[in-house]
Amino acid sequence: MPGEFRVEGRRSGMAARFSSALLRQHAGVGSRTVTTGAAGTKQLRKATAPVKKALSKAVPRSKGSGDQLWLPNTQRPGWLDGSLPGDRGFDPLGLARPAEYLQADLDSLDQNASVNKAGQIIGKYQPAASARVSDTALAPYDEVFGLERFRETELIHGRWAMLAALGVIVGEASTGVSWADAGKVELDGARYLGFNLPFSITQLVWIEVLLVGGAEIYRNTALDTQSRLYPGGYFDPLGLASGDDERAFRLKTAEIKHGRLAMVAFAGFAVQALTTGEGALSSLARFANSFAPDLVSDIENALS
């Protein structure tokens, strides 16, 4: 269980010193209570760790809302408590499960004994989840495959997917060129809103690298999870997410939901381009021309 460390069994001198050192290492969080059980058994229980700094401020649900899950009649995993925006308890592979460390006793190495037993698991330690980041900007999270890191990558990919999906639709609607062929058109010269740009493709690539790379470097230098995900300030000029925690939570939930939908949509754009060679709007027109008449005829046949 989180926040609990239990050492059981008969321990040799080296194992006892190893256990004591490990216990002293993690004794800084919470208080400790030592109880004595059967002979040769010692139990050490740490009090619940202090409340962590949440990734985002949880907003209490209304009494009639209930627990919103990704699938009705399913059970929420213990490590997903619903405090994150858009948390619907979906983690079938357990990717966000907190890490658990095991302590094994030393193997029996008595050369005079006929049988030497292998060391058993004598302790378990599960660190309390923490939203703090380390002092290294390029590797900020204590757990690389932890819930905090997964939330950051999901949110950033969702924002890029929303920009990409919008760019595909607007670009195809304004130029009539499939998004998959946009790079070929740029070889004839850079144009924006019908105006010729005095830049070559190489120059445009470097401009994009500097602008996007500069923004990512600025974001990755932040050592606070809230600043990395929701910088605010100039990125919230209307102050929509400031001052009202409940409204900010709703906006964050809407953003992550739209980001997930955009990621699925752009994956569909890519599959359509690979299989049919057409853009998003052309594929949509093909679907409408084939689906709508069939639907009308099916309804007429059902009514006749």
25 is in an annotated binding site: no
62 is in an annotated binding site: no
132 is in an annotated binding site: no
197 is in an annotated binding site: no
Closest CA to 89 of 66, 73, 68: 68
278 is in an annotated binding site: no
Give 36-79 as a DSSP string. E-STT-EEEEEPPPPPP--SS---PPPTTT----SSTT----TT
Which tokens is 160 given? 């890029």
Pairing of strands 42-46, 32-36: antiparallel
154 is in an annotated binding site: yes
Whole-angstrom distance, CA of residue 87 vs CA of residue 210: 34
Whole-angstrom distance, CA of residue 85 vs CA of residue 216: 23
Which tokens is 218 given? 């600025």
148 is in an annotated binding site: no
300 is in an annotated binding site: no
Residue ranges for the binding site for chlorophyll a? 154, 157, 193, 216, 255, 260, 272
Residue ranges for the binding site? 154, 157, 159, 193, 200, 216, 223, 255, 260, 272
Residue ranges for the binding site for chlorophyll b? 159, 200, 223
